[in-house]
Amino acid sequence: MKIPLCRASIGEEELNAVKEVLMAENPWLTHGPKNKEFEESFSRYVKVKHALSVNSCASALLVALEANNLKGEVILPSFTHMASANAVVKAGCKPVFVDINEDTFNIEPEEVRKAVNKNTVAILVVHFAGQCCEMDKIIEIAKKNNLKIIEDCAENIGGSFNGKMAGSFGIGCFSFFPTKNMTTGEGGMITSDDDEFFEKAKLLSAHGTVKNPEKNWYRDCILPGYNFRMSNINAAIGLEQLKKLEEMNKKRGEHAEYLNKNLNIEGVEKPFVDKRCKHAYQMYIIKVDEKIRDGLVDFLRKEGVETSVQFDPPVHMQGGYNQFKVNLPVTEKVCKSVVTLPMFPGLKKEELEFIIEKLEEGIKNLKP
């Protein structure tokens, strides 16, 4: 048996939606009508005023910073994909890495509080693996210090904190990469309730140009921008995926519940869930003894269970960022012990049982 780390749930609906776009009498292949539909549907889902489709979450993060004219220090976790930190640097800001909570692996609010100074302009939270950060505490810190909140929701489409959706606390930045809760192939979304920010974000993501309604060929570049637009084809896929999202997330939750109930192996620590959160389970992360972690990953892969590790090394220990000398003991401890197991809606019971069986075998063989 071979079980992939993730498999996107693509069906006839997505195929027909793409066919509709491609086979139209006058096919619109770039940013077009499906984008508007997708954006309106997504904003309703997240319960915000605005949503803007873009070509990636990395682009969304950069726009979120630049459209707010942020210049200064941005507090964020090092336990994240490098795209989070890259956006901070590319926007002309300084990343300030802080430690995470040992249970949730999300940014630790008290560490954020200690890192705030007169140069701080924003807090970039990363909702890890489908679970929201402690947004009540983050909001309190942001309000007290007049800071922007940017949410990296790449791993949390459909999760919530105290009933409020991820991506609705500040500026939400989503990813639709094939491993995420829903996909458009490549793609992303920006969400916000801020009218002024949204208009600036639209400009930045489309070359910084405005049109003249009386002369459809006229373009006026009023600020230097980018081409971060999502195509009409990707948006058509996204529309169909969004219709299925709740059901797909429900299945993820059922798979996680099965693992939580049946994965009772000495030496394996199952995911911690904050009771205030609705977990979207974009990933299912366990912890094991760091002495056997690498060997366990190798064993599981050889046995047909594709596994991965998020995130080793963390950003502050990578080549482009090792000039940031910070002490993050929890981050450096966690990154050596986590293992990412397969998680996607289409997992079958026999595959879940196989994962448990091979995990038990691997732990037994490698136990120091």
Nearest C-alpha neighbor of 342 from the set 1, 105, 7: 7
Which H or E run includes 14? helix 12-22
Q: Return the bridge partners of 25, or none.
A: none
Sequence-distant (6+) residues with CB within 8 A of 336 are 290, 293, 312
Q: Are 201 and 67 in contact (CB under 8 A)?
A: yes
The DSSP string of 85-122 is HHHHHHTT-EEEEE-B-TTT-SB-HHHHHHH--TTEEE
In the chain, % of residues over pLDDT 90: 92
Domains identified in the chain and CATH numbers: 12-240 (3.40.640.10), 245-366 (3.90.1150.10)
What band does 297 get if pLDDT is binned at 50, 70 and 90? very high
SS3 of residue 291 by DSSP:
helix
Distance (Å, whole) CA 114 – CA 116 = 6
pLDDT in tens, 65-105: 999 999 999 999 999 999 999 999 999 999 999 999 999 99
The pTM of the full predicted model, rounded to 2 decimals, is 0.96
Q: What is the mean pLDDT of the chain?
A: 96
pLDDT in tens, 7-62: 999 999 999 999 999 998 788 888 889 999 999 999 999 999 999 999 999 999 99
